[in-house]
Amino acid sequence: MIYIGIGFILLLIIVPVLAILPSAKQKEQMAKRQQAMAQGIGVDLTRTEDPDPDPEKYLSNTGKPLERKISVAAYRIQRKQPDNWRRSVFPEWEIERVASQQSDDPGFGWRWVKEPQETTPNELTEFIRSNIPGFANDVVRIEEKKSIISIYWNEVGEEQEAIDFLKSCAAIDVTPLDTDEGSGNDI
């Protein structure tokens, strides 16, 4: 009887300790985040709008609609400030993954939520358009605001693709060309 009591007490001590240890999936996510941070990428955990249009997914047991938010990781990189940063106009843009509207295509596509401004270099816009289809369905949104480029994703695929996209996008020069130094007009 004493052995059963001791075994029960040990279980009460060991089970909570084992419950707080990270799972294999959590260890994999931590490794991805550490890899990104080692390459100069900031990692935040945040919540964003879910692109999945299934209305049944966000109903409570009583039928009340729930908030359509999902938890994602945001990988971020700061765009390098140009020498003439006071005269520069930094691009702001945002694209998000959306469900296909065609009944024969159950997949997802991309749409501009906020299109790049006219001052955004064509090189940046073309880079975004040509590299978006390469992302897997685990990326929810990509944006640039206040010279910070962010990718919001579920950390299901390879992190190196997201890191490479961020670094390549940040490396594109967005400084407007000065054609007339004396007039102060930016082109």
Domain extent listing, the chain: 42-171
Alpha carbons within 13 A on the beta-carbon side of 111 = 7
110, pLDDT greater than 70: yes
The answer to whether 114 touches 78, Cβ cutoff 8 Å, is no
pLDDT digits (tens, 9 = 90+) for 162-171: 899 899 998 8
Torsion of CA 141, 145, 147, 149, to 10 degrees: -10
Quickly tell me which residue has 């990189």 as its tokens.
77
Q: Is 108 helix (H, G, I), strand (E, B) or coil?
A: strand
Q: Model pTM?
A: 0.75
Lowest mean pLDDT, pick from 41-55, 61-75, 127-141: 127-141
